[in-house]
Amino acid sequence: MTRQLHFNLFLHDTGHHEASWRLPESDPHANLSLEAHQHLTRVAEDAKFDSVFLADSPVLWSDPARRPSGKLEPTLLLAALAASTRRIGLIATASTSYNEPFNLARRFASLDHLSKGRAGWNIVTTAGDAAARNFGLDDQPLHKTRYERADEFLRVSTKLWDSWTDDAVIADKQRGVHALRDRVRAVGHHGEYFRVDGPLDVPRSPQGYPLLVQAGSSENGKEFAAKWAEAVFVAQPTLAESQAFYADLKRRAVAAGRNPDQVVILPGIVPVVGDTAAQARELDAELERLIAPEHAIGTLATVLGVDAERLKLDEPLPIDLPAEEEIEGHKSRRTLIVDWARRDNLTVRQLIGKLGGGRGHRTFTGTPVQVADTIQEYFENGAADGFNIMPAVLPSGIEAFAAKVVPILQERGLFRTEYTGTTLREHYGLPRPANSLELASR
């Protein structure tokens, strides 16, 4: 088969540009609206996207004065979206630092059953002391510790998903046997971070495991992705940086004993689409004009690990910023931002303007053909297997992308015109995992 693009829609209230909620067209309450999320998901499904994605964090993300910051719990929302869609995949973020394997494995197995095999889990380790304080801790665990816990968390979760064999449930009314007892087994995990007996109280789900997604780009993050991730969301602002990340992660996957074609790499792109280049630039300029730098500067300071008072809007970043190894959270994003600012000699105000659209992801402003050309260039030159589509403004951004960009890529034979599978794994061209406990017993 000819290699084709994969598209995920990153759902984010009124859009990924931080000022999108201030446009006259925007619903500033969309973040809490089931109807708004249903509309966006249906647009993506009609365009034959592989999946939609909801980010999450166990802490208030940003200054609530700055933009809509309330978040519905994503697996609950995706369960509702599963009932109003048929084919599109449904991916939610959940933290390994502030959950327990049994509850989270149960939640995603339940979503996979309810959606008939369309669930995905974006695995995060959660940075920041503010999140830690919501769970009775004074400080966040060390970066290395968070990834060690995440690795064990995945080992426990996969055992729990495998604690029922695929043929365990027979529902034999004549014999009065619903499930074969010897096909439902304890996992007996006793590790450094978790003790879990099992079995899970949900039978093995349609996909076996939900699709495993990861988004960290630190050294620990890339090693974790190479071992576990089946799809990777990544922020790289240039083609060259995307190519370097793509080649590096594929090499790491091979070193981990995996097929690199089964690690789908999806850079984020923030498309600002206009019928003409001038219209696209006009929308981009309007959005940048609506940014409130007094709010944005605090978020930037947190990522950089400095006091906000040290960042002067019309001056470059301070020279003596903490190095990446001194930062316990957002390591890769911190380095991306600093390198970008130094390379382009940006003032703090200019940097805030660029980050306002995509937080370090590639922002592209242009016509439908220009956007399609950029996507094709990345796809055909070793930089991407597809894209995490992050419209600057919602719903108009995904409506324009679906109506004007997708048909161009379909005409070029680069994107599907119909779904060929029913599960999220099938959309991404990934196999259903074998039952590890069953294999071990042979």
| Measured distance CA(286)–CA(25) in Å, rounded | 13
- CATH code of 245's domain: 3.20.20.30
Cα separation values, 442 from 166, 434, 436, 437, 438, Å: 15, 13, 10, 9, 7
Number of Cβ within 10 Å of residue 419's Cβ equals: 15
How confident is the model at residue 282, as a pLDDT? 93
How confident is the model at residue 1, as a pLDDT? 57
Q: Token digits for 104?
A: 């989270």
How confident is the model at residue 332, as a pLDDT? 66
Instruction: Say if 330 falls within a structural domain.
Output: no
- The answer to whether residues 338 and 282 touch, using CB atoms and an 8 Å cutoff, is no
Sequence length of the chain is 442
| Measured distance CA(402)–CA(52) in Å, rounded | 13
**Count of domains in the chain?**
1
Tell me: is residue 217 an annotated ligand-binding position: yes
| Measured distance CA(128)–CA(207) in Å, rounded | 33
Q: Token digits for 365?
A: 């402003």
How confident is the model at residue 425, as a pLDDT? 98
Which residues contact residue 96 at a Cβ distance below 8 angstroms, ignoring those fewer than 6 apart?
104, 123, 124, 125, 126, 146, 149, 150, 153, 154
CB-based burial, 143-162: b 16+ in 10 Å, e otherwise = beebbbbbbbbbbbbbbbbb
| Measured distance CA(309)–CA(351) in Å, rounded | 16
Instruction: Say if 326 falls within a structural domain.
Output: no
Burial class for 400, CB neighbours closer than 10 Å (0-12, 13-18, 19+): buried
Strand runs (DSSP E) across 12-110, as ranges? 51-54, 89-95
Instruction: Say if 321 falls within a structural domain.
Output: no
Helix (H, G, I), strand (E, B) or coil at 313: coil
How does pLDDT run across 316-362, given as a tens digit for each residue? 888 888 887 666 666 666 777 888 788 888 888 878 776 765 566 78
Instruction: Say if 370 falls within a structural domain.
Output: yes
Instruction: Say if 254 falls within a structural domain.
Output: yes
Tell me: is residue 143 an annotated ligand-binding position: yes
Tell me: is residue 93 an annotated ligand-binding position: yes
| Measured distance CA(84)–CA(186) in Å, rounded | 35
Instruction: Say if 295 falls within a structural domain.
Output: no
- The answer to whether residues 234 and 267 touch, using CB atoms and an 8 Å cutoff, is yes
Tell me: is residue 56 an annotated ligand-binding position: yes
- The answer to whether residues 337 and 346 touch, using CB atoms and an 8 Å cutoff, is no
| Measured distance CA(207)–CA(89) in Å, rounded | 12
Instruction: Say if 374 falls within a structural domain.
Output: yes
- pLDDT less than 70: residues of the chain: 1, 295, 325-333, 354, 356-360, 439-442
Which has the closest alpha carbon to 416: 11, 112, 78, 87? 87
Q: Token digits for 137?
A: 């801790």
| Measured distance CA(20)–CA(31) in Å, rounded | 12
Instruction: Say if 317 falls within a structural domain.
Output: no
Query: What single string gives the DSSP state of each residue in 234-255?
Result: E--SSHHHHHHHHHHHHHHHHH
Domain carrying residue 50: 6-272+361-440
Q: Which residue has the tokens 């006009």?
A: 282
User: ω before 101 within 30° of 0 (cis)?
Assistant: no
